[in-house]
Amino acid sequence: MTYPTLLPYGWSVDRSDQLPPGAVPARIVRDDGAALLGVTPSGVRVLRAPGPSGLAPTVGDWVAVRASEPDADRLPVLEVLPRRSLLRRQSADGVGEQALAANVDVVLIACGIDRPVRAGRIQRVAVQAWDSGAIPVLVLTKVTDPGVLDLPSVELDHPGIQVLATAALEGVGVDAVREVVSGRTAVLVGESGAGKSTLVNALLGREVAATGAVRGGDAKGRHTTTSRQLHLLPGPGGGSLIDSPGIRSVGLASGSDSIDAAFPDIEVLAADCRFSDCAHASEPGCAVQRAVDEGQLDLGRVDSWHRLRREAANAALRATPHEFRAVARRFGRRARQVPKRR
């Protein structure tokens, strides 16, 4: 079925075959940790997540709910429909992962230029975006004076990523962001105080997200957004925008292929390395190290590539608690075998 009221939210007819008998689709539009809101063919409803054995839904997910329970206080989620993409990060405890947004096409990385633009954080989120199956776009905010921004330099620092300069309060660059989101689902991520809520309000043309002041010393702000929420963009192009709380840490839960996608310049050079499994460290015939020596590639990018690859390998190990405990036991035995210093 087409479900016309769900088409603006991105419903596609080819998903109909994924619905179990007697169910209708709903898209999760809000998750505040305590409750889920989903838009159904009959409107927005409070949903009840499946039990511990089921896949926990997140914002952006398409789920199946029972059509025969229109008057229930909380519609039970029967199952989460197959995801086309999933933005995720490593859990705070370092074991497992946390889902941030599902079925997204674009990850907007918001960075305010009133604070240092940290390449490492941008690279991490870009890795997460490529890992999810989405496209990363760097959105520089608070660019009230274009003369203070060296845009070509930023683009060179982040090859393969589209860079947009915005000043939401002044309306600068908002249309360019709207064009990127048009007809798609985008999620907006970034630190607190980066101007995400101001940009959301500008894109929607109304005040839907609370904005807050930032500290004068370091330009950091408090969390004004406390839940992940999906908004429909107005206009003929439409699209969906997921606003998210400020992210303090960006722990990787990605594979090495996603890291290579975030460093396309290194990946291109690696094709000329003598060995196909070159680690770009001290191997003979390494085209990446040769490019560094000749000044064609910044050593900092290679160091970041190495650091993220190590982190991804550790994250993959910690993703399996059994394997993590086994490694910890092996390490503990080795530590006890080391003679103590007198």
Annotated domain spans of the chain: 4-80, 86-243, 256-337
pLDDT for 201 equals: 93
pLDDT tens digits for the chain (342 residues)? 889 999 999 999 999 999 999 899 999 999 887 789 999 998 999 998 887 767 889 999 999 998 776 666 788 899 999 999 999 877 655 556 788 999 999 999 999 988 878 888 899 889 999 989 999 999 999 998 877 888 888 888 899 999 999 999 999 999 999 999 999 999 999 887 888 989 999 999 887 765 544 444 444 444 445 578 999 999 888 999 999 875 555 566 666 778 888 999 999 999 999 999 899 988 999 999 999 999 999 999 999 999 988 887 776 666 555 555 554 554 455 444 444 444
Q: Is 121 exposed, middle or buried (0-12, 13-18, 19+ CB in 10 A)?
A: middle
Query: Helix, strand, or coil here: 287?
Result: helix
Interacting residues of 91 by C-beta distance below 8 A, sequence separation 6+: 97, 98, 251
pLDDT of residue 326: 54
Burial class (CB in 10 A: 0-12, 13-18, 19+), 173: buried
Give the pLDDT confidence score for residue 165 in this predicted structure: 94
CB-CB neighbours of 270 under 10 Å: 18
Q: What pLDDT is stored for residue 338 in this prediction? A: 45
- Residue 257: predicted pLDDT: 79
pLDDT at 151: 87
DSSP 265-278: HHHHHHTTSSSTT-
Q: Give the torsion through C-alpha atoms of 144, 148, 151, 156, to 10 deg.
A: -140
- Exposed e or buried b for every residue in 276-289, given b needs 16+ CB within 10 A? eebebeeeeebbbb
Q: Which residues are within 8 A (CB) of 267 and not within 5 positions of it... i.e. 6 or more apart?
A: 260, 261
Select the CATH number that applies to the domain covering 4-80 from these four: 1.10.1060.10, 2.30.31.20, 2.40.50.140, 3.40.50.150: 2.40.50.140
> What pLDDT, on the 0 to 100 scale, is given for residue 210?
58
Q: How many CB atoms lie within 10 A of CB 155?
A: 14
Superfamily of domain 256-337 in CATH is: Probable gtpase engc; domain 3 (1.10.40.50)
Note the pLDDT of residue 182.
95
| pTM, 2 dp | 0.81
42: which strand partners?
Answer: none
Start-to-end C-alpha separation, the chain: 76
Contact 196, 225 (CB under 8 A): yes
Residue-wise DSSP of 205-259: TS--S----B-TTT--B-----SEEEEEPPSSS--EEEE-PPPS-------HHHH
Q: Is the dihedral of CA 194, 198, 200, 202 positive or negative?
A: negative
In order of 68, 192, 243, the CA distances from 171 in angstroms are 46, 21, 19
Enter the CATH code of domain 86-243: 3.40.50.300
pLDDT for residue 207: 79
Q: Under DSSP, is residue 181 helix (H, G, I), strand (E, B) or coil?
A: helix
Single-letter code of the amino acid located at 194:
A
* DSSP helix, strand, coil percent of the chain (3-state; round to 5): 35, 25, 45
SS3 assignment, position 184: coil
> Which DSSP symbol is given to 304?
H
pLDDT at 310: 85
- The b/e string for 27-39 (b: 16+ C-beta within 10 A; e otherwise) is bbbbbeeeebbbb
pLDDT at residue 327, as a whole number: 46
Token pair 């975006």 in the structure block, residue: 129
Q: Identify the pLDDT of residue 250.
A: 58
CA distance linking residue 327 with residue 342, whole number of Å: 28
Report yes or no: 110 and 120 within 8 Å, Cβ to Cβ. Answer: no
